[in-house]
Amino acid sequence: MIVDKILTIARVFFSFTLLSGLGWVCDFVTFTLLVNLSNLEIFKANFVSSYVGVTFVWFTSLKTVFKLGGKGSSIFLVVYWCFQFVSILIYSQLMHMTVHEIPSIFQLVKISQNPEIAAKIIITPFNLVTNFIFMKFLTHLFAQKALRP
């Protein structure tokens, strides 16, 4: 019983991770272009690029991973975007702090030439877990609302 529950959560997390990986590619490409081509500050670039990724993840994972959709999903998208606003603020600040440490940590490695990109990569696993937990919670609320008469 408990093993089945763990396996189910692991399958959902794995599926979410795959779609989040695609969302991260959208995010990362947008972030890299904004930082390297327009010299946008890391905080602003991460903010813009993150919304590209999280919006992709919302629309692709809602039905395929969490088996939800239809009426009422737009209100949950707004809640998800609000959560992401706070999450992006926190992770952007962490990236900003990390950027200043990367040159000293990676002195001998070429990665120190692009500390913004390295910082984005470093914070990604933490952000993934945070997003999964919130998306799981939000879709649970969404499912409960759908079951009400």
**pLDDT by residue (tens digit) across 2-49?**
999 899 999 999 999 999 999 999 998 998 899 889 988 877 888 899
Report the candidate in 138, 146, 132, 140 with the shortest Cα–Cα distance to residue 12: 132
Rg (CA), the chain: 17
User: What are 40-76's pLDDT values in tens digits?
Assistant: 887 788 889 989 999 999 999 988 898 887 666 778 8
Paired tokens of 149 = 């008469």
Which structural domain range is residue 130 located in? Answer: 2-147
Calpha distance 27→61 (Å, rounded): 16
Inter-residue contact 56 to 86 (CB < 8 Å): no
- Residues 49 and 84: beta-carbon distance below 8 Å: no
Q: What is the largest CA-CA distance in the chain?
A: 62
Q: Is the pTM of this model over 0.95?
A: no
**Tally of domains in the chain:** 1
